[in-house]
Amino acid sequence: MKNNMSALIAGTIFGFGLIVSGMSNPDKVMNFLNVFGHWDPSLLFVLGGAVICTFFGYRIVLKRNAPLLEREFFLPIKTALDKRLLTGAALFGAGWGMTGFCPGPAITGLAFGVVEPIIFLASMLCGYLIMNRLPHK
């Protein structure tokens, strides 16, 4: 119950940040990535603000033995720079550059009540289903 409440608050803060930062605007994302067009470097400031804040926040939080609501931290354990990571990142970059959407802003975009984020998310789900059916997960 507390976990659900905490996650709801975290998600709400995140969604608010996506709107304020402009990250939820696919035009802005594409203008950031299209460095040869009407280049809009704003998203560098989004990434900068987020990373500076999180870097120092994590340093403080991860000094604890455990988070407030769980017995342990759940940190990623993979370290290999394998083909899956590189291929996956490349495919993701292609989809991101083609649409201006990544998963978070697509979900937040549902708040606008238009069809584009819904189509994007449905297509993303198809991508997940295809991956689930491929061998060698």
Partner 1 sequence: MFPTEFTPYLSFIGGVTLGLSAIWLMLFQGRIAGISGIIKTALFQKDGRAWRLMFLVGLVLGGAIGFHLTGFDFSYREGFPISLVIIGGVLVGLGTSMGSGCTSGHGVCGISRLSIRSIVATVVYLSVGILVASLTAKVLL
Q: CA angle 101-89-125, nearest 5°? A: 50
Kindly state the smallest distance separating residue 31's Cβ from partner 1, in Å. 5
Kindly state the smallest distance separating residue 36's Cβ from partner 1, in Å. 5
- How many Cβ atoms from other residues are within 10 Å of residue 96's Cβ? 17
Q: Measure the CA–CA gap between 66 and 74, rounded to whole angstroms.
A: 10
Kindly state the smallest distance separating residue 106's Cβ from partner 1, in Å. 8
- Looking at this protein, which amino acid is placed at residue 132? N
Q: Measure the CA–CA gap between 33 and 36, rounded to whole angstroms.
A: 9
